[in-house]
Structure 1
Amino acid sequence: MELGSVVEAVSADVGTGGAAPLYNIESFESLCMHCGQNGTTNSFITLIPHFKKIWLSAFDCPHCGDKNNEVMFVGDIPPHCCCYTLKISSGNSEMLNRQVVKSEHATIKIPELDFEIQSEARCGSLSTVEGILMRAADDLQALQEERKKVAPETAEAIDQFLVKLRACAAGESSFTFILDDPAGNSFIENPFAPSSDPSLTINFYDRTPEKQALLGYQAREEPHGSVGATAGHRAIAQSNSAEIAEALFRYTAPEEVYAFPVTCGCGSGCETRMFPIDIPYFQEAIVMASTCDACGYRSSELKAGGEVSKKGKSITLSVQNVNDLSRDVIKSDTASVKIPELDFELASCSHTIGGVVTTVEGLITKISESLERIHGFTFGDSLEEHSRSKWLDFEDRLNKILSLETPWTLILDDALACSFIAPATDNLEDDKQLTYEEYERTWEQEEELGLHQMDTTSADAAYES
C-alpha cells in the first residue's frame, strides 16, 4: 500500500495531527474478532507536534466493516501522573469536538452518570470527546439483544442509561469529563492555548508506589548519605543546565550536599541531591536535583525554606534592556506569571513549569516550550485556522519581547512570597525598574495552600517555653 493511502486510512480513524510517519509503514493481515475473517492492520510510528512520539495502528475488516484503532507511546516516561477535568455545558457542541489522547492506562469518568470507562476496557486511542462517548454507547448497545434474552431487567436499565449517554454525546446535557492517567500520557486539547481554559482543569500529581506497580515499574532502595560540595555542584548542573548551578552558587557554596534515594518515573532507582542556600534580599531556600542513569531523566526544583510568610508578594519588573533579560529569577510552584503586553497569565495551579531557578529570558523560553509541549495538536491539520493564527501571533509577539523591540513587564505574584527577581544594584531601593508589593492573602488562597489545616499551636507553645 502506498504511503499516502496508509496515512489517509489511519487518519480517517484516529487522526494524525498532520504528522508524517517517522519510520516505515507496516501492513499485515490480522484476525477480525467480530466475523473471524482476515482484515488489514496498518501501523507506523509518528510524532504529534509538541506532544510526543506515538505508535499508530488502524484495523479494517472488508468483510463485516469493523474498524478500530490503537495508540501506544514510545517516547520517554513522564515523571508525573495527570488528571484532566473538562466541564461541558449543554448546547455547546464545539466542546465535544476537542481531541483527546487516551493511553491504555487511563480511566474516563462522568460523575453525573456514575459512569466509568476503566483502563482495562480499551487500548490507547486518539479521538474526540464525542467519539469516545459514542464508541462507549455502541459497545454497550452491541450486546443488548443477548441481554434482553438472559437478563431483561438489566437490559432495560442499560437502555435507559444509553439515552442519557447519547444525550451527553449529542451536547443535549451538561456533564463533567474526567481523564485520569497514572502513566501521564493522556491529553485533552485546549483550543484557547496559550491562554488558560476556564472549562479545563489540569492536575499533575506524584506517582505512588501502588500506581508504579500498576504500570509495571519496580522501585529500588538505596542508602541515604551525603556528597561533597564539588560533587553537589556538578550534580545540580547536570540535572538541568550549568545556568541553574552558576546562578545558585553565586549566592552560596554549601560544604556538603545531602543525597537520598527516590524512584524515577521509569521505575529505576535514582538519587535526589539537596542543599540549602541563603539568597540576599530573599530567604533561605532548598535546592533539589534528580538524575536517572537508566533513562536519562533530569530535573531540578527549588522549595522555600524557613517559616511561612504572613503575606503574599507581587514582584513587578520593567524589562527595558538586554541586562534585564539576564537577571536571576526564582519562580516557586505557588507563583503565577503575568505579561500584560501579551495579555498572558500562567496560573499558579497550572504546574506548567513548577518551581525553577533561571533568568528572565530563560523563564519566558521555558514557558513557551512547556506550553507547546502540553497543548498538543498545535500545528496539525486538525487545528482550525483561527486557532493556528492565534498560536502564530502569540509566538511572534513572544519573540518581539525577547528581542526587546519594545519595553515589557514581567509580574510574579506569589501568595507564599517564595519567588524572587534579582535587583540590578546592591541596594534594592535603588533599582527603579523593580518593585515589590506585599498583600494580605484571601481566604480562598490560604485554603488552596492548605494553611487553614495547619495547626502550629503546640509547636508555638513549645518554642515559647
Structure 2
Amino acid sequence: MVESKSEFFPRIGEVAEKADALEANGLLERDDEDRPVEEVESLCMNCGEQGVTKLLLTTIPYFKEVIIMSFRCEHCGVSNNEIQSAGSIRPEGTIYTARIHDRQDLNRQLVKSASCSVTIPQFDLTIPPVRGQLTTVEGLLRDIVADLSADQPLRKYQDENVYTKVQSIIDSIKVILDDDDEETTEPKGPKEKSDRFPSFTVQLDDPAGNSFIEFLGSTADPKWNLRTYARTHSQNVELGIAAPDDVDAELDPNAIKKMAEVVDKVANEQPAGEIKDDEILVFPGSCSSCNRPLDTLMKKVNIPYFKDIFIMSTNCDACGYRDNEVKSGSAISEKGKKIILRVEDREDLSRDVLKSETCGLSIPEIDLVLQAGTLGGRFTTLEGILDQVYEELSEKVFAGDSVDSDDRSNFEEFLSNLKAVKNAERPFTLILDDPLANSYLQNLYAPDPDPNMEVVVYDRSWDQNEELGLNDIKVDNYSANP
C-alpha cells in the first residue's frame, strides 16, 4: 500500500528531477508513459473550443497528497489553476497562523482549499472560501491586490468611502510587496528594507483541515502555529458529511405542547433559589464594547471529585464581542492548594483544567510564570490553555516593530521552547497555585491517586488574605456593632 501511494503521489522535488532528466534525454515529448504530468483535453467554457487540462498528483512534505490542476485554452488564452486534496477529510478543523515579520516569510508555501477562509487582522480583511489554490504568501497578497484593484475605478464613482478604504488596503499591501512607485536617489540596502517592513498575520481557518501554511525549519518555528478544533454541525453540513436537520419534524405542535407541559411541571416542583445542573440562566445586559443589548448565559457544571462551578458566556451579535468566565459555586476554602503535574506524553495534554482568576501558572523548565488574573478564569484542557498562552504571547511580541532585535531573538527562543512544551515534545512540570483552591486538574486515575500529580494544601499567609480581601471580611454577627 505504501509503494502504491508513493508511485501515484511522488514528492514535488522527485517530479521536477524526473522531468529534467527526460527533457535532457529528449524523451519528454516522445514517451507519453513517462510524462510526470497527465494532459487531458477539456472544453473551454469561455469560447467553446478544446483546451488542455494538466494534472499533477504530488505530495506536499509534512502535509498530505494533493492534485494540482492547470487549464489553458490556446484559442482564447483563458487559464485557470486549482488544487484539490487527494486525502480524507480530517476529523477536526484546523487553524494555521503564520506571523509574517520579514521578506523571507513571504516565501512560505501556502495551500488554500475550497473550504478555507483567510484572515489578515491588521487589514480587517477576510477572504471567504473560494477555489483551491497552491501559492505562497507573496502570491496570495498579489492576488488580493489584483482582485481589489479590478473594480476600483467603478467604486470611485459609486461609493467614494468604500473606494478610499479599499485603496488604503491596496497601498498597505504594496508597501509589503515593495511595489510602491516612489523613486529615491539613494540606494536601499537590505537592512533598510527590513526595518520598514510592516509585520502582519495570516490565518487559515479550514473546517475540513485540508489547508496548510509552511513552517520554517521545523514545527518549533515560533512564528508558526497550528490549532485544531471540533467542527460544528453546520460546518459538517456545509462540507457534505452530515445531513441537515429535519426542521419540520422538530416543529410538531403536539411535541412542543408536551415539552411545554414538562417544563412547567419541573419549574413548579423546583424549590425556590435552587439551580439545576442542566438549567441555563439568562441575564439581560448591554455589550461593554458597543453598548448594544445582549444576554449573558450562565450554567452550573459539576466537576467530579471537585466542586460545582458556574460558566458564564457573553456573545454580542452586533459587534462580535465575546467573553467567557468561570466562577466557583462553593464557599471560600480555608486553605490554599498547589497542584504539581509531571507531563510526560501527549495523553497528559488532554486533561481537563479549571484555572480560576486567582490561580497562577508556571512551567519551571522554560521559565514561564503567569501571575494570578492572567487569562482570567478558564475551563479547558491542558493543551487548550497552553495554546492560549502561546497565542497571547506571540501576538504581543510580533505585533510591534519597535522591539529590540536581541529581545526579539530571546523571545523567539522562548516561544520555540513553549511550542515544544505544548506539543509534549519534551517532559515538563506544570504548577497551578491557587490560594482559594478554586482550580482543578483532572486526575486520570480517580478516585485513586495519580502517580504523576502532587497536590499540596497549605495555609494562606496574611499577605495573601489581604490581597484577596479576606482579612476584613466578617461572617459572624456581622449585623452587630463592632
Q: If the length of structure 1 is used for normalisation, what is the TM-score?
A: 0.43
- Decide which structure has the larger Cα Rg and report it: 2
Higher relative contact order (CA 8 A, sep 6+): 1
Report the TM-score when normalising by structure 2. 0.42
